[in-house]
Structure 1
Amino acid sequence: MKKNELKEFLDEKAALYENSDFTESDPIQIPHQFTRKEDVEIAAFLSAIIAWGNRKMIINNATRMMDLMGNSPFDFVMNHTEDDLAKFEGFVHRTFNAEDFKFFVKSLKNIYQNHDGLETVLQNKASDNYQLAIHNFKKIFFEIPHLQRTEKHISDPVKGSAAKRINMFLRWMVRDAKKGVDFGIWKSHNPAYLHCPLDVHTGNIARKLGILKRKQNDWKAIQELDKTLREFDKKDPVKYDFALFGLGVFEKF
């Protein structure tokens, strides 16, 4: 397939899959239950952080997280007591457990109280990509006392990780809301600088289409994929996440 034909093909698939029906089987449905900016951010962040494995299980466990926070995530983060956190006992999603969840709530409180919130701490102030922004976010996130084991739940692209879950969260917050999927509530961020959330599905499809040669799903693969997707659409390259994901998950391409 020639490059212009491939762009046309992916444009069609992106348009096909980016619609409100997409949310019915995707963890992004969790933050869509809220309207307050901070509630949306926190619900989205926690849902994205546990977004690996079976999608139905992700949605069920993210729903449970919201239930445990009284379905008022921002109010819970800012006003929780140790007794409130004790209710998390028994929560587990794969390797993310109750102790991790407790720390995430405490760290989010620190971020909103002392760092002007998630939108501010994830800004990429001097770059056309989020590598350093995510790296610095991780440092701030773990600046308060924590268990070493919890650090594995925030990836670091400076160490080579594709940081799929944080990149997915960024897509949700930054991309335009007009199609009814992403939120577009972070006006201080530029969608042109977003990265495709690279996972097994999107990576495999990108390789089949010839727009990704690198075999590992790491930050170097992200950079390689970025180059082509930004050529296809320099203002909104991550719309192609819908095309790659849809081809992989829904069409078994």
Structure 2
Amino acid sequence: MNFDELKDFLDEKVLQYNTLDFIESDPVQIPHLFTQKEDIEIAGFLSATIAWGNRKMIIKNSHRIIELMGNTPYDFVMSHNETDLERLETFVHRTFNGQDFIGFIQSLQNIYKNHGGLEAVFSKNQEVNSMQKSISEFKKIFFEIPHLARTQKHISDPLNNSAAKRINMYLRWMCRQDNKGVDLGIWKSISPALLSCPLDVHSGKVARKLGLLERKQNDGKALFELDSKLREFDPKDPVKYDFALFGLGVFEGF
């Protein structure tokens, strides 16, 4: 396929998969449970954090996270006591355990009390066509309070050549205004033009088959390569093609 044919093909797949039907089988359904901004962004952040592995298990455990927080994420983050935190110790999703969960709650409280909230932190350090420095600086702030060393692995640093798939997916949810009701688009301080594709095994395989990606590892360098191509198709909303690549990989076995 030439450039125009490939763009038309991908645009068609975006329209096919960027619909409300996508929500029921995706962890984006978790932030959709809420209406208050802080609830949406905290629920989204925690569910995106555990978004690796079996999708049904991700969704099940994301609902469990919300239940353990009394279905009021922001209030729990800001007003929890020691007994509340003890309740979280039983949680496990793959390598993310109860101690990691507790650490995340404490770090989120610090961000809302002392840094103006998640949007305020992520909106700093924006660069041309990139949120990678912002993500790296976010990680520093997130772990500025005392924490377990093991918990740091659950937030990727793009400046260490990570594709940071889960945070890029989270930023898509929060920043992209798709008018289809999937991505929530509640953060207005970050342009969708700066977002990166959540590169994983599925989107990576499809991107390589379509000639959008040559690098074999799904790392930071591969993400830069893929982003550069997707911005040629739509510089204002490049990450919309995540729906096409993911849909082709997961639902069509492309």
State the one-letter code of the partner of 1:200.
V
Partner in structure 1 of residue 238 of structure 2: 237
Do 2:204 and 2:213's aligned partners in 1 also have CA atoms closer than 8 Å?
yes
Cα distance between partner residues in 1 of 2:35 and 2:73: 12
Shift of residue 7, structure 1, vs aligned partner: 0.4
Do 2:89 and 2:102's aligned partners in 1 also have CA atoms closer than 8 Å?
no
Partner in structure 2 of residue 77 of structure 1: 77
Q: 1:200 to 1:153 in 2, by over 3 A?
A: same
State the one-letter code of the partner of 1:156.
D
Q: 1:126 to 1:41 in 2, by over 3 A?
A: closer
State the one-letter code of the partner of 1:187.
K
CA displacement, residues 106-149 of structure 1 (integer Å, 9 cap, x when unaligned): 00000000000000111154412011101100000000000100
Matches within 5 A, 1:1-253: 1-128=1-128, 129-253=130-254
* TM-score after normalising by structure 2: 0.98
SS at match of 1:215: coil
Share of identical aligned residues, percent?
Answer: 68
CA displacement, residues 195-245 of structure 1 (integer Å, 9 cap, x when unaligned): 000000000000000010000101111110111100100100000000000
Shift of residue 89, structure 1, vs aligned partner: 2.1
Listed as ranges, the gaps of 5+ residues in structure 2 are: none
Cα distance between partner residues in 1 of 2:165 and 2:176: 16
Shift of residue 159, structure 1, vs aligned partner: 0.5
Shift of residue 51, structure 1, vs aligned partner: 0.1
Cα distance between partner residues in 2 of 1:124 and 1:251: 38
Comparing 2-11 with 120-129, greater Cα deviation is found at 120-129
Listed as ranges, the gaps of 5+ residues in structure 1 are: none
How many residue pairs match? The answer is: 253
State the one-letter code of the partner of 2:3.
K
